[in-house]
Structure 1
């Protein structure tokens, strides 16, 4: 028996969310819809220019772990924070979600990472991330017993930005496969794909990664094409299983010659797309580790994504387990 359904590994970040108009993005040189890496000075400048903000523990893989736990799954998380106020907030929040988390904090410098997220009226989010203590995550933070006891180990493509994290990920994948477990990654965003295309493809083609999550833009960027069907055929050849989300058009799940298309969950109002992909992965992996069929896994992912985009912040405020039960999915 495994102790955990899903272990996620990622940048431990406290999100600071605020609304803004399109002009604010232009005036401040922010690339809309992307994750922009910034330094400490830039972080202070943008923070000083933000309007009223909401702070919440985030980070892509952290959101996924919290989502798995919200479904009633057994989740664990690796991610580095500093021994400071934001680090305490992050650790408290993720543990309060029911996620196993015991990565040791790293001093007070660099400080805990923070991401300033600007949400425009169309619900699109533009991320500006100061990685801070995240860059300190390394192989010494890998808890081998946790990796071996997790059915799936999942990590975010953003981890390819801090260099030592790559070593930690490779070690996790080695331990997972030796224990007969599976590994998974999210491509994170199209700009991240552009930076590390060759490395991501090698992770897939070498079998280091079994399951891949991407959105349409990331899949197109990965294969440097505008032909979505070609991108789907290519990703099917390069990994065992992939789920490619398409915003309001739902998701297509790809395994060999299979193409399972699932519509998006209807919503009342789009509020904030922050965390949509993270929560899709949470729902999908929760279903997958429970042995559910791929269509049901996709529906669970769409359900979770549909919930989170109707609120501010990346972690659901309602019980995904209850909503999935009411929908007859679990």
Structure 2
């Protein structure tokens, strides 16, 4: 599998053990502060690399120290970062995620250079030889440009996938609608599907997205697992149970599911089996801080899934 991950790249700062924001200028000791690469392209790239794919990342970061750190972390994971352009007038996208003892994880986020990335920043010739293109955050490009990119990927023999970052809203779906007919696999969460379509039933909403052009919709449902919908079938895939004592942080689990699902497809598995690998990968990531936490591989994830 040689995959181009295009779009949103973020440096996450996880802060573990936040019970409240200190009053005034008081301080508070916490358990852990940790950096990790994230985003619907960057986080997915890390997990795909760990699962044995050859990964090339494309997007935009700033010329700041945050960008230096993000590039270094991605490169350490074996991701080819030569397609990430640097924008001197924009800071690198970054989030601060305080994780509460109960697992809640509000976030402060800066869009930064992700909002400045355009198709002009991507040399299409560098995509030659890829087997898959994954676009994370098509809303930043807009549907027309996103559709052009996905159509080009298909024209060179690659399959395509799309992961939307924004919350579900009918206006957002209209904004990216031109990309859907060029999307083999759409990877939203349940709230996005219901919000985009106005449906009250998840399968009904996913079918509406298939009717809008997506070949397959694989929906994450948090602790419930995933729902995989095509024009011909609907399949429910359960999440893998995690010992509460081992559950650390669910940040990045959606990106991990995407990576596991796409890797499963590249190995010749059907969409249901690929979703099982996606759920197992997400469960692995939930037991650490960020998508790059701990040590896991395709073999270890498959062993976890086998019980």
- For normalisation by structure 2, the TM-score amounts to 0.87
Decide whether the 8 Å contact of 1:80 with 1:136 is kept in 2: yes
Q: Decide whether the 8 Å contact of 1:252 with 1:259 is kept in 2.
A: yes
Q: Distance in 2 between matches of 1:200 and 1:49?
A: 43
Which runs of structure 2 are paired with 1:183-194 in the superposition (5 Å)? 183-191=160-168, 193=169
Matched, 1:231 2:211: no
Partner of 1:284 in structure 2?
261
Following the alignment from structure 1 to structure 2, what is the Cα–Cα distance between the partners of residues 229 and 104?
Answer: 36
CA contact (8 A) 1:6 1:286 kept: no
1:255 aligns with 230
Query: Structure 1 residue 246: deviation in Å?
Result: 1.2
What do the CA deviations read for 1:177-218 (whole angstroms, capped 9, x no partner)? 221322211122425x455121233422xx122210011111
Unpaired runs of at least 5, structure 2: none
Matched, 1:220 2:194: yes
| Equivalent in 166, 172, 188 of residue 149 of structure 2 | 172
Q: What residue in structure 2 maps to residue 34 of structure 1? A: none
Unaligned runs of 5+ in 1: 28-44
Change (3 A) 1:170 1:255: closer
The normalised TM-score by structure 1 is: 0.81
| SS of residue paired to 2:45 | helix
Deviations 1:73-109 (A, max 9, x none): 1111112112222211111111111112203543543
List per-residue Cα deviations over 1:252-287 (Å, max 9, x = no partner): 111112112111012113321100000000000011
In the alignment, which of 4, 7, 10 is matched to residue 10 of structure 1? 7
The answer to whether the 8 A contact 2:6-2:135 is kept is yes
Aligned to 2:67: 87
Partner Cα distance (2:28, 2:211) in 1: 46
For residues 316 and 54 of structure 1, what CA distance do their matches in structure 2 show? Answer: 10
Question: Counterparts of 2:13 and 2:296 in 1: how far apart (Å)?
Answer: 23
Considering fraction of residues, name the structure with more helix. Answer: 1
* 2:295 is aligned with 1:295: no
Q: Residue 154 of structure 1: CA displacement?
A: 1.0
Using the TM superposition, give the Cα deviation of residue 143 of structure 1 relative to its aligned residue in structure 2, in angstroms.
Answer: 2.9
Whether 1:318 and 2:295 are equivalent positions in the alignment is yes
Selected match of 1:200 from 157, 163, 176: 176
